[in-house]
Structure 1
Amino acid sequence: MLQDNYTQDLPLFKGVTVKYFRENEENGNLEVFIEMPVKEHRCPHCGHTTTYIKDYRLQTVKDLTVAGKPLIVTVRKRRYICKECNSTFTEDNPYIKRYCHFPQRFYLEAIKETSDLQSFSAIARRMGASVTSIIRWFDNINYPKAELPSCIAIDEFKGNAGGEKFQCNLADPVKHKIIDILPNRDSEDLYKHFLEYPYEKRAKVKKVVMDLSTLFRSVAKKIFPEAKIIADKFHVIRVVTNSLENVRKRIQKEFHDTKRKWFKRSRQLLLKPEYKLTDEDKIELNRMLISSRELEKAWLLKELFYEIFKEKERKAAKHQLRDWLLLAAELSVPEFQHCITTFTNWSTEIANIVDENVSNGFIEGSNNKIKVLKRISFGFQNFRRSRNRILNLI
């Protein structure tokens, strides 16, 4: 049993006198009794000094756990009386502030816990505080508007906070840092948010990365006149692979059950780049392509599209993309009509991928993390709390 009956200084209790430190054998708690050393105090009312003690008051508070055991601290506070103005006041204590129920380090540890992927309820349960207290302390956090970096990634995610279904995520894809979370994706609100920055700061943004969203592109062109808009490579390639998948789904409906199931199980062979195929994979792929002329055309378009990103110069990539669009129109596979329309409208932004080695990879990963946080927290109704939690987490 930890017990002593003499005064000592402990690192956890700097500036105060520890009268005893012991373990309670009944409940296993660690119990500490502390008080301030007697010294001369200045009256906050008249400014005169006094050493006259009027009475004592005991306050029991819960501290952080030590070696897995709860630490219960009893604080003996003195009330002094001023002989000049006859007023009373309580001595200042560095361990716990006036009107507080926990020491300062307890509050700081609770806020620090919110930077981990866990709910407020889990934090409150582990620390032995109420959920409402944890939330109230956390709501005191205020993240100011961040500075705009030279490269911005923008994307939306389903947050269901503040009465809006979608929120907007702004991130720095180079430094892998979230800049801000916006309450919705409406163009008017996006304009309002960015126009709060002076033109000089907006002009410093040189790159804006996004998926194939015409809304984000129209906002970026007007707000960041000096920026180059770059389409996200993953979303661009996914348009092509989705078109190929739609061709496969249409073709396999014409087959009998055995062949249709084989087509479905072997769909990864169609999506895998040709240079990654083994000899056995190529044999299986040829069996699939022989089954349908249109499927062979779709697979060829997919492989030729990969060749665009092997170019080292933007001009050559844009020229090759134009040739690919002409070929796609000539082969006239119905499912690729969407690719032709989309890539015609986004040809400049797609060609910019070759020059710039940036993508929406980080922001997509942060969106997944936000979804996990939202799920374990059973959602957020308060947008400000949701924004602060995300910025504190990522």
Structure 2
Amino acid sequence: MLKLPDNILHLPEYRVINIKEMDGWLHFQVDALDPAACEECGVQGEFVRFGKRDVPYRDLPIHGKWVTLWVIRRRYTCRACNTTFRPRLPEMVDGFRMTLRLHEYVEKESFNHPCTYVAEQTGLDEKTVRDIFNTRAEFLSRWHRFETPRILGIDELYLNRHYRCILTNIEEKTLLELLPTRRQDVVANYLMKMKDRQKVEIVSMDMWNPYRAAVKAVLPHARIVVDKFHVVRMANDALEKVRKGLRKELKSSQIRTLKGDRKILLKRAHDISDRERLIMETWTGAFPQLLAAYEHKERFYHIWSCTNRSDAEKALTAWIDDIPQGQQAVWKCLVSAVSNWREEMMAYFENDIPITNAFTESINRLAKDKNRDGRGYSFEVMRARMLYTTKHKKKSPQTKESPFLDGAIKTYSMGLFESEYNFGVDLSTFWED
């Protein structure tokens, strides 16, 4: 028997009777205090003990050893109401047969570490840890309600071999939701459940038609703006097709050199250094079709520098009409995208500030890094970790102080007590958790 202090458990409601160490476990036999009154009728002093048995409850590890508390659970018979009862055990969670402090520890750690790791640390079964995690995640999903954004961002995330859907508040730079799929019905269902969805004025997205259909069905008043980076990227793809088409005219060494210089060709003209300009002029001078493709790519980029929709419309029309001779097939995908999404592309020029999905896109890398750290979380775990373990961006409403109260009330606004607003997961603190 180990000689340990009487207060080793720091559970004042229990008295330690015996302690044993077996196979890396510490076993404590403990006895709970007698109840103050009958739990059925509330009468005091009119009950007697009526049988007992040892029931195991898991507790936090001590000195690196797993801990089991063998609680002597007694039955009592009340002479006043003639009922038999077992008193509730303080500081215990009967549903999981563990102490409250262990349950709270598992709740916290299961959001920060894989369930297998938490199970190994505490001596619990992995399924038990997962059940605690799922119960907590379900509670948080019901409790957290994010404010509906004015500018909504929608994008996809390829996670665990499936495309998911991410929704963000672009103005506040916060994460709102991670949906299991990017299907139209799933996205539409989420938008339908948004509180005060009429507050959404602008929706930024890539050129994925189910997103557009879902937004038009649920948010017909909102203006859809295609993320310009998805569009201009297609111009680079067209230039790449021209570059790769030159390989049949080059030697093996030249092919490798041109491949190494591809990043120079993809740069904007104003970002190229003097050395890079010489390299580019060497290639474009030798291959006029490459020069024509590069200049046409630059003209497409220049469209997005227009300050109003009218100028952008004219520039886009001229760009389509002036496709370099013999390169219609190369630019076909971009021209087709422009035709199908022209209204949403031109909507970019109708806003006072540039509307892009750059912030939403940046979350992809963060999500993938989080997933890699956990070595393949399930989608449900990944979603809960992203939404509930990171600090949320909250703001309190502006308050007005009555001049007649001498500053006694500081949170009274327009006659009503108002709560703070939750705008979603603050990604600026993503790595602090």
Structure 2 residue aligned with 1:54: 50
Provide the C-alpha distance between the structure 1 equivalents of 2:183 and 2:49, rounded to a whole number of angstroms.
64
Q: What code does the residue aligned with 2:154 have?
A: I
Q: What code does the residue aligned with 1:216 have?
A: Y
Q: After superposition, give the CA deviation of every residue in 1:213-243 in whole Å (9 maximum; x if it has no partner).
A: 2332233233212212121232122111111
Structure 1 residue aligned with 2:230: 235
Does 2:299 match 1:304? yes
Give the deviation of 1:257 after TM superposition. 1.1
Give the deviation of 1:16 after TM superposition. 1.7
- Given candidates 262, 284, 297, the residue that maps to 1:267 is 262
Structure 1 residue aligned with 2:111: 115
Provide the C-alpha distance between the structure 1 equivalents of 2:369 and 2:108, rounded to a whole number of angstroms.
19
- Given candidates 191, 211, 218, the residue that maps to 2:213 is 218
Matches within 5 A, 1:283-322: 283-322=278-317
- Given candidates 355, 358, 362, the residue that maps to 1:361 is 358
Provide the C-alpha distance between the structure 2 equivalents of 1:18 and 1:175, rounded to a whole number of angstroms.
53
- Given candidates 109, 120, 124, the residue that maps to 1:125 is 120
Provide the C-alpha distance between the structure 2 equivalents of 1:53 and 1:294, rounded to a whole number of angstroms.
97
Does 2:203 match 1:208? yes
* C-alpha distance 133-377 of structure 1, shift in aligned 2 (>3 A): farther
| Maintained 8 Å contact 2:292/2:324 | no
Q: 1:229 is paired with a residue of what secondary structure?
A: strand
Aligned residues with identical type, % of pairs: 24
Give the deviation of 1:3 after TM superposition. 4.9
Provide the C-alpha distance between the structure 1 equivalents of 2:5 and 2:187, rounded to a whole number of angstroms.
65
Give the deviation of 1:60 after TM superposition. 3.4
| Maintained 8 Å contact 1:172/1:178 | yes
* C-alpha distance 316-64 of structure 1, shift in aligned 2 (>3 A): farther
- Given candidates 84, 90, 93, the residue that maps to 1:94 is 90
Give the deviation of 1:379 after TM superposition. 7.0
Give the deviation of 1:384 after TM superposition. 6.4
- Given candidates 147, 151, 176, the residue that maps to 1:179 is 176
- Structure 2: tracts of 5 or more residues without a match: 391-433
Provide the C-alpha distance between the structure 2 equivalents of 1:21 and 1:206, rounded to a whole number of angstroms.
67
Does 2:277 match 1:258? no
Q: After superposition, give the CA deviation of every residue in 1:118-168 in whole Å (9 maximum; x if it has no partner).
A: 54333333332222222333333422495542222223345679xxx5443
Provide the C-alpha distance between the structure 2 equivalents of 1:107 and 1:312, rounded to a whole number of angstroms.
58
Q: What code does the residue aligned with 2:33 have?
A: P
- Given candidates 46, 50, 73, the residue that maps to 2:69 is 73
Q: After superposition, give the CA deviation of every residue in 1:244-295 in whole Å (9 maximum; x if it has no partner).
A: 1111001223211111111111111111223332222111111111121111
Q: 2:55 is paired with a residue of what secondary structure?
A: strand
Provide the C-alpha distance between the structure 2 equivalents of 1:327 and 1:9, rounded to a whole number of angstroms.
83
Q: 2:171 is paired with a residue of what secondary structure?
A: coil
Provide the C-alpha distance between the structure 1 equivalents of 2:375 and 2:105, rounded to a whole number of angstroms.
19
Does 2:165 match 1:168? yes
Size of the aligned set, in residue pairs, is 381
Q: 1:174 is paired with a residue of what secondary structure?
A: coil
Q: After superposition, give the CA deviation of every residue in 1:94-113 in whole Å (9 maximum; x if it has no partner).
A: 21133531123333333333
Q: What code does the residue aligned with 1:83 have?
A: R
* C-alpha distance 338-193 of structure 1, shift in aligned 2 (>3 A): same
Give the deviation of 1:75 after TM superposition. 3.1
Structure 2 residue aligned with 1:152: 152
RMSD: 3.7
Provide the C-alpha distance between the structure 1 equivalents of 2:79 and 2:363, rounded to a whole number of angstroms.
62
| Maintained 8 Å contact 1:21/1:30 | no
* C-alpha distance 308-111 of structure 1, shift in aligned 2 (>3 A): farther
Q: What code does the residue aligned with 1:60 have?
A: P
* C-alpha distance 316-71 of structure 1, shift in aligned 2 (>3 A): farther
Q: After superposition, give the CA deviation of every residue in 1:294-348 in whole Å (9 maximum; x if it has no partner).
A: 1111111222333333445455444444443343367845312322232243334
Matches within 5 A, 1:329-340: 332=327, 334-340=329-335
| Maintained 8 Å contact 2:111/2:384 | no
Q: What code does the residue aligned with 1:174 have?
A: E
